[in-house]
Amino acid sequence: MKIGLLGFGVVGRGVYDILSDREDVSVGAVLARRDLGQLSCAVTRDMQDILNDPEIDTVVEVMGGLHPAFEYVSGALKAGKNVVTSNKHLLCHYYKELNALAAENGVVLRGTAAVGGGIPWLTNLEKAARANAISKVSGIMNGTTNYIMDAMHKSDVDFADVLKKAQELGYAEADPSADIDGWDIQRKLIISAGVAFGVCLHEDDVPVFGIRNVSAADIKRFQARGRTCKLIASAEKLLDSVAAYVEPTLLTSDALEAAVPANFNLISLEGEHCGKQSFFGQGAGRYPTAYNVVQDLLDIQSGVQGFYTDKFADASTNNAGALHRYYVRTNAKLPALDAVVEENWDGAVVTLPVSVAQMHELAKSMLAEDDKSFFAALA
């Protein structure tokens, strides 16, 4: 197998390094905008060079972003080349289009590294979904935010300093908002729900609240009550819709997720016959992510066909029936919040059970008055 490697950042360099020790898969050419120094393959700025090279049978896209990644990946599929990508934004946003293109052209599209970095999550979710009905996927799906939350629980560190460290370690997205505001996790949740339930969810329908505003004082309140805060994604299959959302969650110490350290992820599925299964590992970083890209290449080489699922029914999101009690810390004065307060936590409140839909609506009003407001669900 000979690949065209699109992008030579953190993950691209990792793929190149891992493949340099192998004989069965080699890099034919790298597409990059900057000068890469001495490499053992061709380097080009022109995608046509890769599309027109008959020896390149598979394209690896690790550039990130929607454009020009979409045009390049579409071009590769149309040119009859398999595609492996680590780009969750691309897979989430163009899920149906890219799979249709792969099917039309009789080639394979894989993206295991797009969710969970180095964890074999999508490949196992695919296997679980073919043997039993999946009712729920959930967990910690972002290394950067887990790294930040873990550090803030272990010592009195500044949010911005820990984020900078995660960026230096190569965990964070180019745009930090994708991590700390939860968008990266939303995309991973949508891809996971797609594979688990055979549905297409839409980004606008999946509410997200991130950890940008969590403070040291919040963490002290949680720890005083035996709780650990993690940014959790959840998608649960309902009769004809899906309850799906991303929000900070206060876990009790017996929850597996409460113990997840550093940049690790822990993602779980709940199946009709297999029960709950959890997958733990490095959710970000050069070599773990590159490892899953290489696994996809080896799967294609050994004859794996298509995508993880061929079912792509559009589905709506319904978060009206998912109820939680919420920790809320805000200076906003909202009668709708006052009406649901149950407890006081010294400078913050805890609500009666309210729906996820209602809480995320309330959060918009809170942020409009006090842009430092924070909330977290009590699990």
CB of 292 to ligand HSE, least distance (A): 10
CB of 156 to ligand HSE, least distance (A): 23
Q: Does 61 bind ligand HSE (CB under 6 A)?
A: no
Non-local (6+) Cβ contacts of 376 within 8 A are: 214, 218, 222, 229, 247, 248, 249, 250, 326, 327
Whose Cβ is closer to ligand HSE: residue 234's or residue 351's?
234
Residues 6+ apart with CB under 8 A from 153: 219, 223, 228, 229
Report the distance separating Cα 105 and Cα 97, nearest Å: 12
Q: Out of 14, 207, 271, 283, which residue is the one contacting ligand HSE (CB under 6 A)?
A: 283
Binding map of ligand HSE across residues 68-107, x = CB under 6 A, - = no contact:
----------------------------------------
Q: Which amino acid is at 94?
A: Y
Cβ 33 to ligand HSE shortest distance, Å: 21
Binds ligand HSE (CB under 6 A): choice among 70, 99, 102, 179: 179
Looking at the DSSP assignment, which residues form a beta bridge with residue 327? 350, 376
> Which one of 170-178, 219-227, 238-246, 356-364 is the stretch in contact with ligand HSE (CB under 6 A)?
170-178
Cα distance between residue 40 and residue 112, in whole Å: 26
Helix (H, G, I), strand (E, B) or coil at 183: helix
Is residue 188 among the annotated active site residues? yes
Nearest CB to ligand HSE, comparing residues 28 and 116? 116
Give the nearer residue to ligand HSE in terms of CB position, either 62 or 134.
62
**In the bound complex, what is the minimum distance in angstroms from residue 179's beta carbon to ligand HSE?**
5
Cβ-contact 233, 138 below 8 angstroms: yes
The closest alpha carbon to 249, from 204, 207, 211, belongs to 211
Q: Which of residues 20-39 bind ligand HSE (CB under 6 A)?
A: none
> Per-residue x/- mask for ligand HSE, residues 221 to 260, rule CB under 6 A?
----------------------------------------
Least distance (Å) from ligand HSE to the CB of residue 332?
Answer: 30
- Count CB atoms within 10 A of the CB of residue 205: 16
Contacts for 18 with CB less than 8 Å, ≥ 6 apart:
287, 290, 291, 294
Stretch (H or E) spanning 325:
strand 323-329
Q: Are 266 and 138 in contact (CB under 8 A)?
A: no
Q: Tell me how many degrees the CA angle 170-176-182 measures, rounded to the nearest 5.
A: 110
Binding mask 109-128 for ligand HSE (x = CB under 6 A): --------x-----------
Distance between CA atoms of residues 88 and 84, nearest Å: 11
Q: Of these, 129, 172, 180, 189, which contacts ligand HSE (CB under 6 A)?
A: 172
Site membership for ligand HSE, residue 373 (CB under 6 A): no
Structural tokens at position 253: 């110490």
Task: Tell me which of 112, 142, 249, 319 binds ligand HSE, using CB under 6 A.
Answer: 142
The answer to whether residue 279 forms part of the interface with ligand HSE (CB under 6 A) is: no
Q: Which of 81, 136, 188, 237 is catalytic?
A: 188
By CB under 6 A, the residues from 181 to 210 that bind ligand HSE are 184
343 phi/psi in degrees, rounded to 5: -135, 160
Q: How would you classify residue 253: left for phi > 0, otherwise alpha for psi between -120 and 50, otherwise beta? A: alpha
The stretch among 128-136, 137-145, 302-310, 334-342 that binds ligand HSE (CB under 6 A) is: 137-145
150 is a site residue for ligand HSE (CB under 6 A): no
Cβ closest to ligand HSE, residue 77 vs residue 178: 178
Q: How far is the CB of 171 from ligand HSE (least distance, A)?
A: 4
With a CB cutoff of 8 Å and minimum separation 6, the contacts of 264 are: 140, 143, 146, 280, 281, 282, 283
Beta carbon of residue 54, minimum distance to ligand HSE (angstroms, whole number)? 33
**Of the residues 284, 322, 340, 359, which one makes contact with ligand HSE according to CB under 6 A:** 284
Active site residues: 188
List residues binding ligand HSE (CB under 6 A).
Answer: 117, 142-144, 171-173, 179, 184, 283-284
